[in-house]
Structure 1
C-alpha cells in the first residue's frame, strides 16, 4: 500500500485510535480498584469528621477508627424499620447507598459508638448554587440534638458556597442544635438562616452564599434525600 495514499492514512489512523483506546481501557481497569478504594476511604473520613474525629487523621487511623466506631451501616425504611442490617465497620449495606437510593426511600443509617455513647449518622443530599451538595449529620443518642456535621460539594464557589465544606468553624455551629422545635417532633426544624431567630434550631448562613445556605436547609427539610424521612426513626425509642 502506498504510504502517501488516502487509504493508508485512514487505516493507519484507525489502528492508532484502536491501540490508544485499548491502552486507556487497560489503564482504567487497572487503576479502578485503587480509585474505588480512595472514594470509599474519603466517604468514611467524612462520616468520621461528622462524628468530631480528628480531621488530620492518617488513612491508617481512619480505617482503624471506622472499625471501632461504626457499629452498623443499616438500611432502614421510612417507618424506622431495618430493611438490611449492617455490621461492625460495615461498608456493604447502608454505606453503598447514594442520593438516588435515598430518593427511592432506601435510607442509610450509621449506628455508632463514640466514647461509649450511642450516636447516629444520617447522610443528606441536595443542591447548591452550581451543583449537588451533600452532608452527614451526626445525632446524639437522644435522637433530638446534633452531635456534629460535615458537608461537601462538587462545584460551589471558593470562599463563598465552598465554605460549607472548607469552614470547620461553621460546621461546628451545628453542634448541640435541636432537630425539632418545641414539642413538634413531626417536622425537622433545623435550618440555616440569614437572621437567626431561634438559636436552638438555627445556624447563621454562610456570608455571601445565600443559595448554597438555602440548599443546606433544604437537605434537612426535604421529603426525599433529607432528614425529614428519618422522623419516625428519630421519634422511636
Structure 2
C-alpha cells in the first residue's frame, strides 16, 4: 500500500510540476506578446480612422499617412476643452466609459443608444488638409444593436454637419442582415448626408424603403432592430449630451485648450 501511495504521490507531483511550468510559459508568452498586440490594435484603429475619413488606400504606409493627416486630441465632454495633460496615445474611450471615476451614468430616459455610461472625455481626430488647416473630424460612436454593442467611427466634413464617411469596425450583428452595416455599398449612401436641420437639431434618420432628402439613409432590409440601434446611437452621440456642443465649437473655431 505504501508503494502505491508513493507512486501516486510521485504522479501527482509530476502533474503539478508540469502544470506549473505550463502556466509559467503561457503567462510569459502573454506578457511578451502584449506589446505586439497593442501595436497591432493601434495600427488597426489608425486604418479604421483613415478609412472613415476616405483617406485609406491599399498598400499605403498607414502610420506615416496617419501622422501626416490626422491630429488626435482628447476633449472633455463636460466643458469641451482639449485636455492638454492627457496623451491621446495613452487614452482609450472604451476603458474610460467602463471606469466609474471617468464616466457618467446615463438615466434610461437620456440613453437611447443603451450605453449605460458615457465617458467624460473622448478622443477626437481632426483631419488635416496639408496646409495647416482642418477639413473635418472623425468621432467615435457606439450603441446597442440586436446582439451587442456596435462600435464605429463617423467622419464629418469641415462644416461638421455633412457626413464624409462611416465605419463600423466591431459588432456582433447577424451576417447578411444587421451585419450589412459594414457593406461598402450601404456605407457609401451615408456620404453627403447632413446630421442637423436648420434649427440645429439632429434630423438624421434611417428610413424604410426609399430614403430621400439630405437627412435620410435607407434602413437595412430585414434588420429593423439593428437599424433602430444605428439611428439611436446617431441621435445620442450627435445630441446635446455628447458631441453636439463640441461640433458647435468646431464650427465656430472656438475649441480651446484646457
TM-score, with structure 1 as normaliser: 0.84
Segments of structure 1 that go 5 or more residues without pairing to the other structure are: none
1:216 lines up with 2:230 in the alignment: yes
Match of 1:140 among 152, 157, 160: 157
Preserved CA contact (<8 Å) 2:74 2:121: no
Q: Which residue of 1 is the match for residue 93 of structure 2?
A: 97
Q: Which residue of 1 is the match for residue 121 of structure 2?
A: 106
> 2 CA distance for matches of 1:178 and 1:75?
23
The 5 Å alignment of 1:20-99 reads 20-58=22-60, 61-84=61-84, 91-93=89-91, 96-98=92-94
Aligned residue for 1:150, secondary structure, equals strand
Taking structure 1 as reference, are residues 83 and 198 closer, same or farther at Cα in structure 2, changes over 3 Å only? Answer: farther
Taking structure 1 as reference, are residues 72 and 154 closer, same or farther at Cα in structure 2, changes over 3 Å only? Answer: closer
TM-score, with structure 2 as normaliser: 0.78
For residue 198 of structure 1, report the CA deviation from its aligned partner. Answer: 5.3
> 2 CA distance for matches of 1:113 and 1:92?
21
Aligned residue for 1:103, secondary structure, equals strand
For residue 81 of structure 1, report the CA deviation from its aligned partner. Answer: 2.1
Q: Which residue of 1 is the match for residue 214 of structure 2?
A: 200
> 2 CA distance for matches of 1:204 and 1:133?
18
> 2 CA distance for matches of 1:18 and 1:172?
53
Structure whose CA Rg is larger: 2
After the TM superposition, list the runs of 4 or more consecutive aligned residues in structure 1 that deviate by more than 3 angstroms.
1-5, 84-87, 114-117, 195-198
Superposition CA RMSD, Å: 2.4
* Count of matched residue positions in the alignment of Structure 1 and Structure 2: 225
For residue 128 of structure 1, report the CA deviation from its aligned partner. Answer: 1.5
For residue 2 of structure 1, report the CA deviation from its aligned partner. Answer: 5.1
> 1 CA distance for matches of 2:203 and 2:211?
12
Q: Please give the per-residue CA displacement for 1:85-134, whole angstroms capped at 9, x wherever unaligned.
A: 778xx6345xx322615713212211111465521111011122112111
Aligned residue for 1:37, secondary structure, equals helix
Preserved CA contact (<8 Å) 1:152 1:164: no
Taking structure 1 as reference, are residues 85 and 150 closer, same or farther at Cα in structure 2, changes over 3 Å only? Answer: farther
1:173 lines up with 2:192 in the alignment: no
